[in-house]
A and B are shown apart, each in its own frame.
Chain A
Amino acid sequence: MDITGKKLVVKAMREEGVDTIFGYPGGMITDVFDELYKADDIRIVLPRHEQALVHEAEGYARATGKVGVCIVTSGPGATNIVTGLADAHYDSVPLVVISGQVPLSLVGNDAFQEVDIVGMTRSITKYGVTVRNRADLGKILKMAFYIARTGKPGPVLIDLPKDIQNASGDAEYPAKVAIRGYKPNTSVHIGQLKKAYKLLHAAKKPLILAGGGIRISGAEALLCRFAEKTHVPVVTTVMGKGVMPVGHPLYVGNCGMHGRFAANKAVSECDVLFSIGTRFNDRITGDLEEFAPNAKIVHIDIATASISRNVVVDVPVVSDARLALETLLEWAKPRKTRTWRDTIAAWEQENPLAMRMDKGLSPQMIMEGINRAYDGGIMVTDVGQHQMWASQFLDFGPEKQFITSGGLGTMGFGFPAAIGAKIGDPEMDVVCISGDGGMQMNIQELATAVVEEVPITVCVLNNYYLGMVRQMQQLFYGKRYAATCLRKRKSCPADCKGPNKNCPPYEPDFVKLAESYGAHGIRVTKPEEIEPALAQAKQYTDAPTIIEFLIATDELVLPMVKSGNPMSEMILR
């Protein structure tokens, strides 16, 4: 029996086990929504903006490990998802995104709400396609889920013209699909891996660099055991933060632009860098000529194209992190690394990670307060200074997951991603850490969180500035704070050199704003208020709580390596 395209879409969702869809309707996708209306078993979350919609699906996907599903309309609905697609692409988040499209007969006419969204997003999706025949729909839907979640995961876009949604065709949703141009790697070259292990085993100063790929493949425990069996210390990327528990004796910390002194020193001094699941982003390497100058480099990654792109490696291994670690564990033997670990510990002693704690509220105090308030949960950040402080000072481990926008660095990511994470995993405590700038980029999602009854705690670190850029202006641009002060008004002096007694008040009032949405708002100005505020927020189980922390405007994220400089050249204070 034939069914319509829209019915097949719903059938596909059921077959793929989709229980939640992040959707925003519009003219060219209403038919699909009409079918979803009849599907009681699928929850539709209605955000207030399509960019946030994709971030919510990302948070959902990263918290659950499932594919996040988005449905939006054509034209502006489609263009609004572009940032989210790019974010998912860079951080390897599995998404299936269906965008409505004008009927095929109108495509190319500059019809109302018509855009070539597949063309626009070609470089930021893993795969994108316009459905041109109803007969292909089942296969394309199956392909989309398969491509999104296998290999290096990523977003897949299906552009679905209105006439295809209503056209009758085969009711079958294929059980599997074979794609001749897509064969994700499912094995590991034992010879290469052996070479890699031999190198590690022969090293005097070995170091493991663990990236986000370890989390994606669920290999956190394997990595810890491998490090423990070999006695090799571990540094992480921002995306890899949490794959080894903070506080583990072999864990050094994050490396990179705002990494720990000891971690960057270790990378610069090690003789074998054993990297797994990272693409050697420039935030990790800094000046490529000076990156790990004394080291032979092993690179294990699922994506062939990541290997020897930024850093030329000595032993490339194309493999899923879990698969490689399973095999490596069979060979793992203890190494004598005592002296090397002592050296790293001495670097840590020399320059420990610590902020000033003398006057008023400091970001470190807030992060430590969050550490004490939560034994487990999902910590989601936006992008900016608060993100780096979170990555530096928050505790992570098997019970505490870190979700952040690592590759694209998308302001506006944190709050919606936290909503999505909580929707995906309602039993988990979800804390969003945001800045005052990023929070305002998707502030409208307060409505979504309230109506969806998502009780998350949102910690807004308000320093009245776009702090990360302000920091660069302070350090490298002669304190010329161009367009970073969020209090600045038209009537302010043009040559303002920073906060003074004439500064106008900050807008908005986050507490009142939260209340106007039916959420809760708390303002914290003193260290002793941190704990009670977090405790109070936990009590609110009906709606989200914004805790606004008023921090000093001049807090810096340190250490810092200037973009393009060698990682050994850290600004420490």
Chain B
Amino acid sequence: MRSMKNRWIALYVENDVGVLAKVSGLFSGKSYNLQSLTVGTTEDETVSRMTICVTSDDVTFEQIKKQLNCMVEVIKVIDLTNVPIHMKEILFAKVKDISPEEKAEVFQFAQVFEVKVKDIGTDSVLLECMLTERRNNELITLLRSRFRNIEIVRGGAVAIESISTSCR
């Protein structure tokens, strides 16, 4: 019952000034462990949708959902933890100060991980990765184990419920 794990929420909110501050303030004010939060407008421009990842136990997660629900600006809370979803995170990884041999190795990684090589210079390569958060983590671990100078930019995950598949 007290097991800590990552959980996912899709949150529909009013697309108004201050709503992001209110939602993020809840997490800091009540010491909830926020992993990532992304936000953007939806098909209805008055509504924004957030994808939120938190690490928590069951009891705290229930409380988080209730606290979000009772905010006037929150329209709907959807628990994505146990439903089939498509989830992607954008990640840019710039691998720098590398030799031609190492460059070839980066290309190999890109091929296996199915990520794009978006830019290249004499001694560096830029990867654009559209993977799950976990897969991105794995790629970063691998790059770190091989190269010393890496620049990472992560966008946080976005998620949407699946139509037909049951995989995550």
Residues of A within 8 A of B (CB): 118-119, 122-123, 126-127, 129-130, 132, 147, 179-182, 303-305, 307-309, 312
Interface contact B73-A132, CB-CB below 8 Å:
no
Interface residue from B25, B29, B72 paired with A127 (Cβ < 8 Å): B72
Tell me the complex Cα distance, A122–B29, Å: 10
Interface contact A119-B59, CB-CB below 8 Å:
no
B100 contacts partner chain A, Cβ-Cβ < 8 Å:
no
Interface residue from A119, A147, A305, A308 paired with B72 (Cβ < 8 Å): A147
Q: Given A126-B72, A181-B72, A182-B72, are A308 and B17 neighbors across the interface (CB < 8 Å)?
A: no
Q: A123-B29, A304-B66 are in contact. List 19 more A-B contacts (CB 8 A).
A: A119-B21, A122-B18, A122-B21, A122-B22, A122-B25, A123-B26, A126-B72, A129-B16, A129-B18, A132-B17, A147-B72, A181-B13, A181-B71, A303-B70, A304-B69, A305-B69, A309-B63, A309-B66, A312-B59
Interface residue from B13, B14, B29, B67 paired with A305 (Cβ < 8 Å): B67
Q: Given A130-B17, A132-B17, are A305 and B75 neighbors across the interface (CB < 8 Å)?
A: no
Residues of B within 8 A of A123 (CB): 25-26, 29
Tell me the complex Cα distance, A347–B15, Å: 57
Interface contact B18-A119, CB-CB below 8 Å:
yes
B62 contacts partner chain A, Cβ-Cβ < 8 Å:
yes
Residues of B within 8 A of A118 (CB): 18
Tell me the complex Cα distance, A180–B75, Å: 6
Q: Write 30 A-B pairs (CB below 8 A) sorted by A numbering.
A: A119-B18, A122-B18, A122-B21, A122-B22, A122-B25, A123-B25, A123-B26, A123-B29, A126-B72, A130-B17, A130-B18, A132-B17, A147-B72, A179-B72, A180-B75, A181-B13, A181-B14, A181-B71, A181-B73, A303-B70, A304-B66, A304-B69, A304-B70, A305-B63, A305-B66, A305-B70, A308-B62, A308-B63, A309-B63, A309-B66
B54 contacts partner chain A, Cβ-Cβ < 8 Å:
no
Across chains A and B, which 6 residue pairs bring their CB atoms closest together, nearest first? A305-B66, A181-B75, A127-B72, A182-B72, A304-B66, A123-B29
Which B-chain residue is minimally distant from A124 (CB atoms)? B29
Residues of B within 8 A of A132 (CB): 17
Tell me the complex Cα distance, A110–B36, Å: 31
Residues of chain B from 1 to 41 with CB closer than 8 A to chain A in the complex:
13-14, 16-18, 21-22, 25-26, 29
B74 contacts partner chain A, Cβ-Cβ < 8 Å:
yes
Tell me the complex Cα distance, A181–B18, Å: 15
Tell me the complex Cα distance, A209–B63, Å: 23
Tell me the complex Cα distance, A68–B168, Å: 51
Residues of B within 8 A of A303 (CB): 70
Residues of chain B from 56 to 85 with CB closer than 8 A to chain A in the complex:
59, 62-63, 66-67, 69-75
Residues of A within 8 A of B72 (CB): 126-127, 147, 179, 181-182
Residues of B within 8 A of A147 (CB): 72
Residues of A within 8 A of B25 (CB): 122-123
Residues of B within 8 A of A182 (CB): 72
Nearest Cβ in chain A — how far from B73, in angstroms? 6
Nearest Cβ in chain B — how far from A246, in angstroms? 34
Interface residue from A127, A304, A308 paired with B59 (Cβ < 8 Å): A308
Which A-chain residue is minimally distant from B1 (CB atoms)? A312
Tell me the complex Cα distance, A127–B19, Å: 11
Which A-chain residue is minimally distant from B46 (CB atoms)? A180
Residues of A within 8 A of B62 (CB): 308
Residues of A within 8 A of B71 (CB): 181
Residues of A within 8 A of B66 (CB): 304-305, 307, 309
Tell me the complex Cα distance, A127–B71, Å: 8
Nearest Cβ in chain B — how far from A408, in angstroms? 15
Nearest Cβ in chain A — how far from B24, in angstroms? 10
Residues of B within 8 A of A126 (CB): 72
Residues of A within 8 A of B22 (CB): 122
Which A-chain residue is minimally distant from B62 (CB atoms)? A308
Residues of B within 8 A of A130 (CB): 17-18
Nearest Cβ in chain B — how far from A306, in angstroms? 9
Tell me the complex Cα distance, A126–B67, Å: 12
Residues of A within 8 A of B70 (CB): 303-305
Nearest Cβ in chain B — how far from A137, in angstroms? 15
Tell me the complex Cα distance, A253–B69, Å: 35
Tell me the complex Cα distance, A119–B16, Å: 13
Tell me the complex Cα distance, A126–B63, Å: 17
Which A-chain residue is minimally distant from B76 (CB atoms)? A181
Nearest Cβ in chain A — how far from B129, in angstroms? 35
Which B-chain residue is minimally distant from A318 (CB atoms)? B66
Nearest Cβ in chain A — how far from B15, in angstroms? 12
Interface contact A181-B29, CB-CB below 8 Å:
no
Residues of B within 8 A of A304 (CB): 66, 69-70
Nearest Cβ in chain A — how far from B16, in angstroms? 8
Nearest Cβ in chain A — how far from B102, in angstroms? 48
Residues of B within 8 A of A309 (CB): 63, 66
Nearest Cβ in chain B — how far from A151, in angstroms? 8
Determine which residue in B67, B72, B73, B74 has the highest number of CB atoms from chain A within 10 A of its CB, and name it: B72
